[in-house]
Amino acid sequence: MKGFCRMPLECFTVPLSNSNAIHNLEDHNDRQGWRDFRARHSTGSLFLVRDYYAWHQIPYAKPPVGSLRFADPLPIDSWSKVIDGREEGPKCAQVNFIRFEPTDVAGSEDCLHVNVYAPKQLHDEIIQGKQPKKPVLVYIHAGAYVAGSSRMGTPGYFMDEDVIFVSFQYRLDILGFLTTGDKIARGNQGLKDQTMALQWIKKNIEHFGGDPNQIMILGNSAGAASVHQQMLSPLSKGLFQKAYSQSGAASNTWGL
């Protein structure tokens, strides 16, 4: 696989070296640097979890539809409209993983979105300059590379900590990993989606209160193997500083 290699590791925790973003225009339209970063956001709360901001459906790449269906991801163009980020977007297209019905397809091909979550009071204090930018946790979802979605990585009790939490979608199954051996479908589109999402996060997370120099990626199962792949890929160099891989590695037979 181009840009990725194999390594005989199973489960590990490794500390490595120690864009236009969008934001609520109504809150920060008079702040330098926020003029082009606009979206509606929602707030939410869980039992014993402090209130938090949630920005959903932030596109990090052009929709992989039509002629781009099997292509490598392309950076998203800038936009002027306000994105309604109050609800999570559709998961990436996949066969029903529970019933294994080949004709029962759920989700959408237009699915390359990032979700960002930040504790409300903490975020407001960061924007006001009362707090430094905080570490970032980036969750890569599981699902054997054929199923799953960013909803598997809900912010949960992370919102009781001083961190910014991020999850994202990537292409799955044949849409994410088919190769024709030529430029039509080079292969590993799903892994390349992950890399582009990490590029977007590195570039834009500071606008949400995150420190781009304190990014940790984490995942389990296929998400763990993805973490491992991103650690090994030269395409992801410098995009994160720490990695947590649980119950999966690039050397697993299903991860190759």
Query: Which CATH number fits the domain that encloses residue 125?
Result: 3.40.50.1820
Nearest to 154 by CA among 2, 24, 45, 78: 45
Residue 167 covered by a domain:
yes
* C-alpha 29 chain-centroid distance: 26
Number of structural domains found in the chain: 1
Residue 219 covered by a domain:
yes
Residue 185 covered by a domain:
yes
- What are phi and psi for residue 179, nearest 5 degrees? -130, 140
Residue 208 covered by a domain:
yes
pLDDT tens for the chain, residues 1 to 256: 333 333 333 333 333 333 333 333 333 333 333 334 455 667 766 555 689 999 999 999 999 999 999 999 999 988 888 888 988 899 999 987 666 666 788 899 999 999 999 999 999 999 999 999 999 999 999 999 999 999 988 888 799 999 999 999 999 999 999 999 998 899 999 999 999 999 999 999 999 999 999 999 999 999 999 999 999 999 999 999 999 999 888 888 777 6
pLDDT at 46: 54
pTM: 0.82
Helices (H) and strands (E) in the chain, counts: 5, 12
Residue 135 covered by a domain:
yes
Domain extent, residue 151, equals 12-255
Residue 7 covered by a domain:
no
Residue 148 covered by a domain:
yes
Cα 12 from Cα 21, distance rounded (Å): 32
Residue 4 covered by a domain:
no
